[in-house]
Chains A and B, each alone.
Chain A
Amino acid sequence: MTTKQHSGDGSTASTEVHVAPEILRILESPAFTELRARRGRYSAILTTLMLLIYYGFILAIAFAPQWLAIRIDGVITLGIPLGLGVILSAIVLTGIYVRRANGEFDALTVKAVRSAQG
C-alpha cells in the first residue's frame, strides 16, 4: 500500500492537509481530466437512461395499466415485451459500460497514473 494511513481523528491535525506530490501530478495530468470528463458523462447518461426506463415502466403501471394491456400479437400484451425489455436493458447497459470502461477508460487511467512518476 502506498497511501498513508489517516489518523482519522481530525481534531489533532492542523487545517493544513498535505497532499503527496504524485497525487497532485495525477490530478493535474490531462489524462486524468479527460478520464473524469468522459467517464463522468458516460455514467451519468447511462444512469439517467436506466432511471428513465425503469420509472417510465413503473409510472405506466401506476397511471396507464390499460395501455400495457393492449394486445399486440394474439394474447401477448404490450406489457410483456416492455417488461422483458427492462430486464434486457439492465443487462445491455451494464455490458456496454464494462466494454468501454475496461478498454478506453482503463487505458486513460494507466496514462494518468503514469504521470505520478513525474
Chain B
Amino acid sequence: MGNISKNAYGMTLLCPIRQDDAAHSYSNLTRDCLETLPLHDNSPMAKVPNTYLCRLYVLDDVFYQGAPANEEHLKSKYLVFCTNFHGDRDTYLRGMWNAVQEDVKRIWGYCIAFDKVKTAGDFVAYAKQCQVTNSLFFNGSDGGPLDEQLKALYLRQEFTRFAFDNFGKSAVELQQAFREFVAIVQPDNLQTPTWAPGMTQETQQLQYSFHTAARKEEYA
C-alpha cells in the first residue's frame, strides 16, 4: 500500500480549481488564501488532530522540458494537499472538518464542486474523489499518535538535559534528582508538559530545569 506505513498515512489530494472567468483568477485567489494562512502553532493545520506535517500549494501546470519530450498540459489548475498523519484516512478527514471547517471552506472555496460539501461525510467523499496514490511515501517515525510522539520527543530532549546536568552525582543524589525530574516532566501525562503541535520555538517553561529549585538563578 503506497499510502500506509505502519500506523502512519500519507494522503495526497489533487483538487481541481475552477477555470478563470472574466473577473476572477480562482487559482490566484486560492494562492492568496494559502499565502496568508497563519504559520506554525497558529496554523489551522496545527489544530487538526494527529497531523505530523502537511503542505498546501497550487499546481498550475506541468513543465515542458523540451524536445524530445511531448508537450503536455493539465486540464485545470489544482490545489494540492499532502499530509502525513496518524490513523486512518476517514477519521482524519472527519477530525479535520470538525476542527477547522471554516478554514477548509476558505481554502477549498474555489475548487470545482466544493460548494456541494456541507458535512464531514461530504468532505470525506470529496477527498476520496481527489486522492491519488503515493508511490514513494516515507514516514520517519513509528506512526504513533501525535500527542505520544510529541511527548516522547519532549521527554528525550529533557532527559538529555537531565543527563548532562547530573553527570557525576552519587547514586543517592541522582535518584533524588531523577525523582524531581519525573515529577516535573510527568512522563505519563500526554497533555502537559509537552510540545504543542506546530511549535517551532521552545519556551523556558518547557525546560525541566526551569522548575528546579537549584537552577533558579539561571532563569532569573
- Do A and B form a real pair? no
Q: Which residues of B contact A (CB under 8 A)?
A: none
